[in-house]
Structure 1
Amino acid sequence: MIRLEGISKSFAGKDGPVPALDGIDLSVARGEIFGIIGSSGAGKSTLVRLINLLERPTGGEVFVAGERVTDAKGERLRELRRSIGMVFQHFNLLSARTVAGNVAYPLELTGRYGKAEIAARVAALLARVGLSEHAHKYPRQLSGGQKQRVGIARALACEPQVLLCDEATSALDPQTTGAVLDLLRQINRDLGVTIVLITHEMDVIRRTCDRVAVLDRGRVVEEGPVTEVFLHPRHAATLRLVREAEPDGGWLDAAAAADLGGRTVRLTFTGPAAHKPILGRIARENAVDYGILAGRVGHIREAPYAQFIVSLAGRDVAGAIAGLRASGVDVELQGGDIPASPARIEERPRHVV
C-alpha cells in the first residue's frame, strides 16, 4: 500500500542542511496497522508527513497504492490527500464549528456532495466513533478523548485508504488511550483502512500494531512483527523503548547474573504456551531446579505472552533446555551475553519480513 525507497530529508539550518531522515526504506502492506516508533527527535513526524507530501523528500521516492506520487501537484495532490486521512496529537479541531461541522468540513471542501449527503455521512461517522449525542457541541465542551474521536471521524470523512496517526494518543490519559486504540483497531478491522501509527510509546505499539519499525536518529534500525521486535529487541534504541514501557523490562543485570549458579536462560512463551505449566513439567522430568530472576507477562494485541529469565541447576540442564525447545518455548542462553544496558545490544539493524 505504501512504499518508501531511499528516502532522505534535510531542513535548512544556520550552518547548512540539517538531516532529519537518511536512507529510509519501508513498505506497509494494505490493511495492516504499521507502527513507527522512536524517541523525540528520531524523525517520526517528518517521516509520516512525507507519505501525504505535507513534506517533500530531499531524495528518494514515495509510492502509494502502487503509484509513484513523489512529485504530485495540483489536483493529483489533492486527490492523494483525500485518500490519506490524518489524525493529529492535539486534535486540530476548528473551535468555531460544532462537532458535526468539523466532520463535515473536508466533505464541504471537495464540492462534490450535497447537504443531505453530507449530513448522512456525518451522522454515520459520529455513530461509528460513539459521538452521535455530541453532534451539536463545540470542541471546548468535549474531553480530550472525545476531541480525538472527532478528529478520527473527520479523517475518515472522505473514505481514505490510509489513516496516518501522528502521536494520536500522546495527549490522553491511559484509560482514554486504550479506548482510542480499540477504536482504531475496530476501524481497521471493519473498513480495511491501512493505518500508520507514529508514537514514542512501546505500549501503544504492543497493543495495536501488526508490524513496527524503530527509528533512531533518522534511520530505521529495526523492523519486523511486533512480537519479534518487542520480545527480542536487537538494537539499543529498541531496548530503551521496551524498558520505558516496563521498567524492569524482563532483563537481568549482568552484575547480578555473575553471582548466580547454574545456567541462566531467557524463556519466551507465546500463544497457548503462555498459559501452560511447561517449565514446571520439564523441570520435574529432568530433575532440575529453577529460579525466576526477572520476567513479564501480558498480551501483544490479543496474543498472550510470558517472558522469564531463569536460572537452571540440577541433574540434566541440557535435557531441560532441549525439552523446553521441543515444547515450543523460545530459549536464549544468556551466559555472558545478558543485556545489562542498551549499549550491550547490537547496533546493527534487523529486518524481519
Structure 2
Amino acid sequence: MIRLEGITKSFDGKDGPVSALDGIDLSVAKGEIFGIIGSSGAGKSTLVRLINLLERPTGGDVFVGGERVTDAKGERLRNLRRSIGMVFQHFNLLSARTVAGNVAYPLELTGQYGKYEIAERVSQLLARVGLTEYADKYPRQLSGGQKQRVGIARALACEPQVVLCDEATSALDPQTTGSVLDLLREINRDLGVTIVLITHEMDVIRRTCDRVAVLDRGTVVEQGTVVDVFLHPRHPATLKLVREAEPDGGWLETAAAADLGGRTARLTFTGPTAHKPILGRIARENLVDYGILAGRVGHIRETPYAQFIVSLSGRDVAGAIAGLRASGVDVELQRDADEFPPVGMQLSERALHVV
C-alpha cells in the first residue's frame, strides 16, 4: 500500500542544509497497522508527512497504492490527500464548529456531496466513534479523548485507504489512550483501513501494531514484526524504548547483577507456549536445575509472551536446551551469537555486564 524508497529530507539551516531523514526504505502492507517509533527529534513526524506530501522529499520516491506520487500536483495531489486521512496530536479541531460540523468539513471541501449525503455520513461516523449524542457540542465542551474521537471520525470522512496518526495518543491519559487505541484497531479490523502510527512510546506499538520501524537520527535502525522487535531488540535506540515501556525497566540489569552459577540462557515463550509448563517438564526429563534470574510476561496485541533469563545446571544441560527448542521455545546462549542477550548486553562466563 505504501512504499518509501531511498527517502532523504533536509531543511535549510543557518549554516546550510540540515538532514532530517537519510536513506529511508519502508514498505507498509495493505490493511496492516504499521508503527514508526523513535525518540523526540528522530524524524518521525517529518517521515509521516512525506506520505501525503505535506512535506516533499529531497530525494527518493513515495509510492501509494502502487502508484508513484512523489511529484503529484493539482487535482492528483488533492485526490491523494483525500485517500489519506490524518489524526493529529493536538486534535486540530475547528473551535467555531460543532462536532458534526468538524466531521462534515472535509466532505464539504470536496464539493461532491449534497447536504443530506453529508448529514448521513456524519451520523454514521459519529456512531462509529461512539459520539452520536455529542453531535451538537463544541470542542471546548469535550474531553481530550472525545476530541480525538472526533479527529478520527473526521479522518475517515472521505473513506480513505490510509490513516496517518501522528502522536495521536501522547496528549491523553493512559486509560483514554487505551480506548483510542482499541478504536483504531476496531477501525482497522472492520474497515480494512491501513494505519500508520507515529509514536515515541513502545507500549503503544506493543498494544496496537503488526509491524514496526525504529527511527533514530533520521535513519531506520531496526524493523520487523512487533513480537520480534519488542522481545529481541538489536539496536541501543530500540533497547532504550523497550526499557521505558517496562513496568520494571531494569529487569535486565537485575540479571546482570546476579550470581549465574550455571549455563545462562534467555528463554522466550510466545503464543501457546507461554501458558505451558515447558521449562519444568524439560528440567525434570533432563535432571537439570534452573534458576530464574529475571523475567517479564505480558501480551503483544493478542499474543501472550513470557521471557526469562535463567541459569541451567545439572546432568544434561545440552539435552534440556535441545528439548526447549524442540518445544517451540526461543533459546539464546552466548555461543549462539557474539552478544547475549542481543539487546546491548554482553555475557561473561559468570556474569552479565551491561554495555
Taking the aligned partners of 1:248 and 1:4, their CA distance within structure 2 comes to 33
Structural mapping, 1:164-313, within 5 Å: 164-246=164-246, 247-248=248-249, 250-252=251-253, 255-257=256-258, 259-313=259-313
Query: Given the superposition, is the C-alpha separation of residues 163 and 217 from structure 1 closer, same or farther in structure 2, using an over 3 Å criterion?
Result: same
Once the 2 structures are TM-superposed, how far is the Cα of residue 219 of structure 1 from its aligned partner? 0.4
Which secondary structure does the structure 1 equivalent of 2:257 belong to?
helix
Query: Given the superposition, is the C-alpha separation of residues 76 and 344 from structure 1 closer, same or farther in structure 2, using an over 3 Å criterion?
Result: farther
Counterpart position of 2:132: 132
Counterpart position of 1:348: none
Once the 2 structures are TM-superposed, how far is the Cα of residue 248 of structure 1 from its aligned partner? 3.0
Once the 2 structures are TM-superposed, how far is the Cα of residue 338 of structure 1 from its aligned partner? 3.8
Identity across matched positions, percent:
87
Taking the aligned partners of 2:250 and 2:135, their CA distance within structure 1 comes to 43
Counterpart position of 1:31: 31
Query: Given the superposition, is the C-alpha separation of residues 61 and 295 from structure 1 closer, same or farther in structure 2, using an over 3 Å criterion?
Result: same
Amino acid at match of 1:136: D
Taking the aligned partners of 1:146 and 1:103, their CA distance within structure 2 comes to 13
- Unmatched 5+ stretches in structure 1: 346-353
Counterpart position of 1:84: 84
> Which segment drifts farther, 99-108 or 311-320?
311-320
Query: Given the superposition, is the C-alpha separation of residues 255 and 329 from structure 1 closer, same or farther in structure 2, using an over 3 Å criterion?
Result: closer
Query: Given the superposition, is the C-alpha separation of residues 344 and 55 from structure 1 closer, same or farther in structure 2, using an over 3 Å criterion?
Result: farther
RMSD: 1.6
Once the 2 structures are TM-superposed, how far is the Cα of residue 224 of structure 1 from its aligned partner? 0.6
Once the 2 structures are TM-superposed, how far is the Cα of residue 256 of structure 1 from its aligned partner? 1.9
- Unmatched 5+ stretches in structure 2: 348-355
Taking the aligned partners of 1:241 and 1:138, their CA distance within structure 2 comes to 37
**TM-score, reference length from structure 1:** 0.94
Count of residue pairs brought into register by the alignment: 344
Taking the aligned partners of 1:70 and 1:161, their CA distance within structure 2 comes to 18
Taking the aligned partners of 1:296 and 1:249, their CA distance within structure 2 comes to 11
Once the 2 structures are TM-superposed, how far is the Cα of residue 342 of structure 1 from its aligned partner? 4.4
Taking the aligned partners of 1:143 and 1:107, their CA distance within structure 2 comes to 24
**Residues 181-225 of structure 1, C-alpha deviations (whole Å, 9 max, x = no match):** 110001001110000000000011011111100000000010111
Counterpart position of 1:95: 95
Taking the aligned partners of 2:346 and 2:294, their CA distance within structure 1 comes to 18
**TM-score, reference length from structure 2:** 0.94
CA contact (8 A) 1:236 1:343 kept: no
CA contact (8 A) 1:252 1:340 kept: no
2:333 maps to 1:333: yes
Once the 2 structures are TM-superposed, how far is the Cα of residue 249 of structure 1 from its aligned partner? 5.8
Taking the aligned partners of 1:215 and 1:228, their CA distance within structure 2 comes to 16
2:45 maps to 1:52: no
CA contact (8 A) 2:233 2:342 kept: no
Query: Given the superposition, is the C-alpha separation of residues 118 and 63 from structure 1 closer, same or farther in structure 2, using an over 3 Å criterion?
Result: same
Taking the aligned partners of 2:305 and 2:345, their CA distance within structure 1 comes to 26
**Residues 271-290 of structure 1, C-alpha deviations (whole Å, 9 max, x = no match):** 00000000111111111111
Structural mapping, 1:105-116, within 5 Å: 105-116=105-116
Query: Given the superposition, is the C-alpha separation of residues 153 and 286 from structure 1 closer, same or farther in structure 2, using an over 3 Å criterion?
Result: same
